[in-house]
Structure 1
Amino acid sequence: MILYEYPFNERLRTYLRLEQLYRRLGELLTRAHSVDHHFALTTIFEIMDVASRSDLRLDVIKDLERQKNLLDVLRDNPDISQHMLHQVTRQVESCVSAINSQIGKTGQTLAENEWLIPIRSRLGIPGGTCSFDLPAYHAWHNLDPRYRQRDLEDWAAELTPLGQSLDLILQLLRETGIPQRVVAEQGLFQQAMPAGRNFQLLRLRIDRRLNLAPEISGNRLMLSVRLLQLANGCKPQPSSEDASFELTLCA
């Protein structure tokens, strides 16, 4: 099954973009090749660019506080594991504390790092990090991989509180959804959104063997999924065949 996610607001779009960047960074940090370390550093800068929004930190804190309030409502509910509830609540509180302890924007210390500034400025230039442009950066790539990994882990640590907070927010959000099996008749599925619910995220799973990709659009009133038939090297075309997939709406 292939999973697709569709955010219903701009805040969730930003969260999902950052989640993808954090996942890429986590993968690259485990590798030892200098090319992987170059793209790890590039990813750190991308996270800084996305996270530099002045309202992002406030949005994250608000979402964490919202989740804490929802968890507090479940206290003493006999159908809820109070041990698990306590653990999740402590995670939320820990994330809030870590975010609040940071001064300035996420990654501000890295943005002011005199060694990183010229590298960041030249990454926007195709081939701009050649040895004749950035000899110190070239020398860094020729260090023992362990030293490069140590540096990357130190820099990535500046971004860890935001990444952990986003992981927790998205995990809790995804757990609110109940999967349902639906059918796109002649490649098209439409559904009126349930009244009184403020859905934030759509999750769609479809069998990879169908060779279909969803084109999703939606708002608070209506959801539409058009399935596209994939063809190697060609523009995807609307499918005219009936196909089923799993749909989950998360609030």
Structure 2
Amino acid sequence: MITVICYELPLNERIRILLRLEDLFDKIDFFSAKKTSFEHHAALVALFEILDITSRSDLKSDLLQELDKQRALLDGLRKNPEVSEEALSRILLDIGTTFRGLLEIPGRIGGHLRDDEWLMSIKQRMSIPGGACEFDLPTYHYWLHMDPEARQTDLRSWIMPLSPIRDGINIVLNLLRNSGKSFHHTAVQGVFQQAGAEHQAHLLQLQIDNELPCVPEISANKYALNIRFISMQPDHKASIYEEDIPFKLTFCSL
């Protein structure tokens, strides 16, 4: 059985932000479920990165607009015999619940974190390489030595108000990925080019055999798509993987 690895390339800044936030939320889930102070520190680092990203974008309004757009599109499919009424009702319910949750977020995203002076003092020190050592932040050092369950309770209280944001991101990205149109191609001697704008997309997915010792370098615009497969050498020097490579390319669009 062939195992594939999927590479995703966002084609606009809005999708790029959603993918970054998805990755950070996944890291918080992983590290906050663990017990050690190092893992809970990593969860807090990811939380602060989410705070930085959301402070530089109109994420809340973007998600509200996109959810409203998708709700209208999906509602128009109610009488389509090829669409499961049960699945459609479920996603529309999720959209409605998440939409209301986003509206209920007071002010800026992460305001409850910014209002916590202790957390912000930690965040400020973490911006300095090695700045979260015990001699810099003794109160944080104390927190890291509390019972793991107490730290997990704190982490949940800091993360929970962001749930509507995460739910909105998950809905939009799931709809985007499920919209994909896939094509099978071969990169001749490690290179593939496609001209024209017949496949407009917000996200590209490229799948190749996990056993192939190469990774794709993808550049795309409305005029052309260029893919080079770079050989993964032991010395990490970049060079074209000069063999024919079959791959699956998926164009996803909202």
- The TM tier, using the shorter chain, reads over 0.9
Partner of 2:242: 240
Partner of 1:215: 217
Give 3-state SS (helix, strand or coil) of 2:216's partner.
strand
Aligned residue pair count = 250
Write the letter of the residue equivalent to 2:108. K
Write the letter of the residue equivalent to 2:201. F
* Deviations 1:56-97, CA, capped at 9 Å, x for gaps: 211111111121121012111111111110110111111111
Provide structure 1 residue ranges, at least 5 long, that are not aligned to the other structure. none
Partner of 1:28: 31
Write the distance in 2 (CA, Å) between the matches of 1:53 and 1:93: 26
CA drift at 1:228: 0.6
Whether the aligned pair in 1 keeps the contact of 2:192 and 2:227 (CA below 8 Å) is yes
Write the distance in 1 (CA, Å) between the matches of 2:75 and 2:140: 50
Provide structure 2 residue ranges, at least 5 long, that are not aligned to the other structure. none
1:61 aligns with one of 42, 64, 70: 64
Write the distance in 1 (CA, Å) between the matches of 2:245 and 2:156: 45
Partner of 1:229: 231
Matches within 5 A, 1:145-156: 145-156=148-159
Partner of 1:202: 204
Percent identity for Structure 1 against Structure 2: 40
* Deviations 1:122-181, CA, capped at 9 Å, x for gaps: 001122112221111111111110000110011011221111110110001100113222
Give 3-state SS (helix, strand or coil) of 2:232's partner.
strand
Write the distance in 1 (CA, Å) between the matches of 2:9 and 2:133: 38
Superposition misfits of 4+ residues, deviation over 6 angstroms:
none
Partner of 2:8: 5
Write the distance in 2 (CA, Å) between the matches of 1:179 and 1:131: 52
Write the distance in 1 (CA, Å) between the matches of 2:127 and 2:78: 51
Summarize the Cα distance change of 1:60–1:198 in structure 2 as closer, same or farther, 3 Å threshold.
Answer: farther
Write the distance in 1 (CA, Å) between the matches of 2:109 and 2:141: 27
TM-score (norm 2): 0.95
- Whether 1:191 aligns to 2:181 is no
Summarize the Cα distance change of 1:193–1:72 in structure 2 as closer, same or farther, 3 Å threshold.
Answer: farther
